[in-house]
Amino acid sequence: MTRRIPTLSAFLLLSAATAFAQAKATVQNVPEIQYTSVPNFLKMPPGETLGEAIGVATNSKGHIFVYHRSATTRLWEFDKNGAFVKEIGKGYYGFEFAHSVRVDTQDNIWTVDEGTNTVTKFSPDGKFLMVIGHRPPAVDGVVATVFGPNSPSQKYIFCRPTDVGWDPQGNIFVSDGYCNNRVVKYDKDGRFLAESGSEKAGSEPGQYSLPHGLQVDARGHVWVADRNNNRYQKLDNDLKPLKQYTNLGTG
């Protein structure tokens, strides 16, 4: 069977899955998934073009959310046929340098913005619901682009966060990030619960060097792409390390 997927989505999905696919093909002899790209699938608003598309997500209706950045960071929604629906959060103070967009099981839309150190939750129709993190004051200048040494990590302040996920109970997990080196757990209302790692990079279990992405499985286990350590770490729901995988390429 040949699958047809949008060109942009195909690129991002295949990029994210490359390390896993290569390992499975070698170890378990899993066949390659065939696909056909669909040129010009997304129909842009009149006079508009996409910037650098950093994140793509879909909701239960098949709508597509593209989080992209150029002169500004923007979040666009398209329907399942690629027709433009609307822009979400236009001019929002929490948009500066896009990194990830996710959609939860209730179809809420979440953005992770590396430039403002914020994770924002929007309702399915695009209304602002919650923000975790704090944008640095303009007087402090742009977010640091070098790795450490950093100020001690804090419960509600990120340093270039990268991704967000949820367990079946709705607890929120954030990978944080480029200048912190940790994973943080919050309850469904954004209250701090636990932290794994710190502002300091490390290579031991439960330490990280640029945690670049994460997902949470149906059992509540947290899987972290630990990029500079060239590994994936599996954590329990309280962020205690369970296992690490070092044969899957760069996280």
Domain count, the chain: 2
Mean pLDDT score, 145-162? 81
176, part of any domain:
yes
Mean pLDDT score, 3-28? 43
Model confidence, pTM: 0.85
- In this prediction, residue 143 has a pLDDT band, given cuts at 50, 70 and 90, of low
Q: What is the pLDDT of residue 20?
A: 38
CATH number at residue 225: 2.120.10.30
19, part of any domain:
yes
How many other CB atoms are found less than 10 A from the CB of residue 172?
A: 24
Per-residue pLDDT at 15 exceeds 60: no
- In this prediction, residue 142 has a pLDDT band, given cuts at 50, 70 and 90, of low
Phi-psi category of residue 230: left, alpha or beta, with phi > 0 → left and psi -120 to 50 → alpha:
left
Per-residue pLDDT at 9 exceeds 50: no
212, part of any domain:
yes
Q: What is the pLDDT of residue 247?
A: 83
- In this prediction, residue 19 has a pLDDT band, given cuts at 50, 70 and 90, of very low
For residues 166 and 147, the model is more confident at 166
91, part of any domain:
no
Count CA atoms within 13 Å of residue 209 on its CB side.
9
Range of the domain at 153: 144-251
pLDDT per residue over 202-224, tens digit each?
999 999 999 999 999 999 999 99
65, part of any domain:
no
- In this prediction, residue 164 has a pLDDT band, given cuts at 50, 70 and 90, of very high
Q: What is the pLDDT of residue 249?
A: 80
Mean pLDDT score, 84-103? 97
124, part of any domain:
no
61, part of any domain:
no
210, part of any domain:
yes
